Amino acid sequence: MRIDTLEILRCPFCGGRLELVESIFHRRTAAEIGDGVLACECCTFPVVDGIPVMHLQANANDARAHVEDGRPDFALRAMVGLERPEDAERFEAAAQSETSTFRDIVESLGPGFEGGYFLYRFSDPTFVVAQAVVGAVAGAVLGGAAAGANRRAIDVCGGSGHLTRSLLEVSSPAPVLADLYFAKLWLARRFTAPGCEPVCCDGNGALPFARGAFGYAMCSDAFMFIWTKRPFIGELCRLVDGPQTPGTVLVTHTHNQLVWSPSHGNPLTPKGYANLFETRPVRTFGEAGLFRDVVAGGPLDLSRVDDAATLDTDAALTLIATPDARVFAPHPMTVDAAPRGVFRVNPLYQASTDGTTMRLRLKFPDVDYEYEYGACRQYLPEETTIDVAALKRLEAGGAIDELSDLIRRRVIIDLPRHYY
Ligand SMILES: [Zn+2]
């Protein structure tokens, strides 16, 4: 972790500042803390492999004891949840190899790790809507010279950082990624959102940050799994409560209690969600309308006002609380001219080639994926072809022109380096 992150980090229990305990085992440089113990007036918390662990669950206590014993390697094992030595050694071998991919490390974490459909995340319908909304909202409130004084973003319950990646260019300093699952944060920092500042914490309690530390706070595809919804929204609002103007809170893809959906969670009704924001104005959008905008290639129209009937019949909702009127407008969707990582063929396609033409056929990993994410058929064609020479030029850093339509349709996607 960066030393200057201590400026915004606070104990979730006493609200006090944290400092590194210099009298016991630690590894640090002038700018970063690798391993050590942080202390406030009430608690101590470990820093494990550069990630502060700001909760008191059993694994965190074990990790802290290992750090105090001068065994940061055992602390890392405790936090990634590998207890048997052979499992831990498999992870460590994968982690220490520079050629390991995101997929290799997920596999080394074993079937107990919720890897799920991570490989297909960048083109699933939930993600493409969230990515468009995040790009529009964060771009409007954080990007450019017209932005307010605080341009830092936080992604709460951001998992392995697929959406945090979208914040890397607009957040300054680098975005914070907060999640309870240490292994996901570790993967995000290495692969999906390199440069982000990961913090391990529990979204069901007070978030370990100072009031007003951020200009933008978001939670995507996770809020229906948070039981303590009222304090959680209160915390997101506190995090963006700046001295002059409040910042922006965005919740994307939270399920609707009135419409069943797979992995339903504990959702509220549209009215119930709006009620959580109390005195802060919030605008609620049905995801279906936003999805139609994305499939059409934009613009993403956040000037729309969805009526109660539209909201009540949509399976997923987006909530935006911001005083910044620039958000509630149509936002053009453009294909980036250069990838953040590397352009590659979407792993949902089976490919065959005669050397000149690559033939692609859409193939879902299983029926469950198709059931939950089959709406991707609205932009992913069943079959298509790519000129092999054009693909090679693109992969070598050439212009996107020839293949921009396939990029827009997500047949070719911009993936992190060493993703699979
Ligand atoms: Zn404390």
Express each pLDDT in 196-243 by its tens digit: 999 999 999 999 999 999 999 999 999 999 999 999 999 999 999 977
Q: How many domains does the chain have?
A: 3
For residue 226, how far is its CA from the centre of ligand 1 (angstroms)? 23
| Residue 372 confidence (pLDDT) | 87
For residue 38, how far is its CA from the centre of ligand 1 (angstroms)? 10
| Residue 114 confidence (pLDDT) | 65
For residue 37, how far is its CA from the centre of ligand 1 (angstroms)? 13
Q: Are residues 132 and 156 in the same domain?
A: yes
Q: Are residues 177 and 267 in the same domain?
A: yes
The segments of the chain whose pLDDT lies below 70 read: 114-116, 144-149
Q: Report the CATH number that the domain containing residue 285 is assigned in CATH.
A: 3.40.50.150
In a domain, 420, yes or no: no
For residue 406, how far is its CA from the centre of ligand 1 (angstroms)? 51
Q: Are residues 355 and 406 in the same domain?
A: yes
Q: Are residues 311 and 355 in the same domain?
A: no
For residue 51, how far is its CA from the centre of ligand 1 (angstroms)? 18
| Residue 113 confidence (pLDDT) | 75
For residue 208, how far is its CA from the centre of ligand 1 (angstroms)? 10
Put simply, whether the predicted model's pTM sits higher than 0.85 gets the answer: yes
Q: Are residues 43 and 159 in the same domain?
A: no
In a domain, 102, yes or no: no
Q: Are residues 312 and 356 in the same domain?
A: no
Q: Are residues 295 and 352 in the same domain?
A: no
Q: Are residues 196 and 262 in the same domain?
A: yes
| C-beta neighbour count of 405 within 10 angstroms | 14
For residue 20, how far is its CA from the centre of ligand 1 (angstroms)? 13
In a domain, 381, yes or no: yes
Q: Are residues 289 and 395 in the same domain?
A: no
For residue 17, how far is its CA from the centre of ligand 1 (angstroms)? 8
Domain end marker among 25, 56, 80: 80
Q: pLDDT tens for residues 378-417?
A: 999 999 999 999 999 998 888 888 898 999 999 999 999 9
For residue 5, how far is its CA from the centre of ligand 1 (angstroms)? 16
Q: Are residues 127 and 244 in the same domain?
A: yes
For residue 189, how far is its CA from the centre of ligand 1 (angstroms)? 26
In a domain, 336, yes or no: no
Q: Are residues 184 and 313 in the same domain?
A: yes
In a domain, 95, yes or no: no
For residue 61, how far is its CA from the centre of ligand 1 (angstroms)? 15
Domain end marker among 281, 301, 331: 331
Q: pLDDT tens for residues 230-252?
A: 999 999 999 999 777 789 999 99
Q: Are residues 377 and 290 in the same domain?
A: no
In a domain, 105, yes or no: no
Domain end marker among 283, 309, 331: 331
For residue 105, how far is its CA from the centre of ligand 1 (angstroms)? 34
In a domain, 114, yes or no: no
For residue 41, how far is its CA from the centre of ligand 1 (angstroms)? 5
| C-beta neighbour count of 108 within 10 angstroms | 21
Residue 258's domain comprises: 120-331
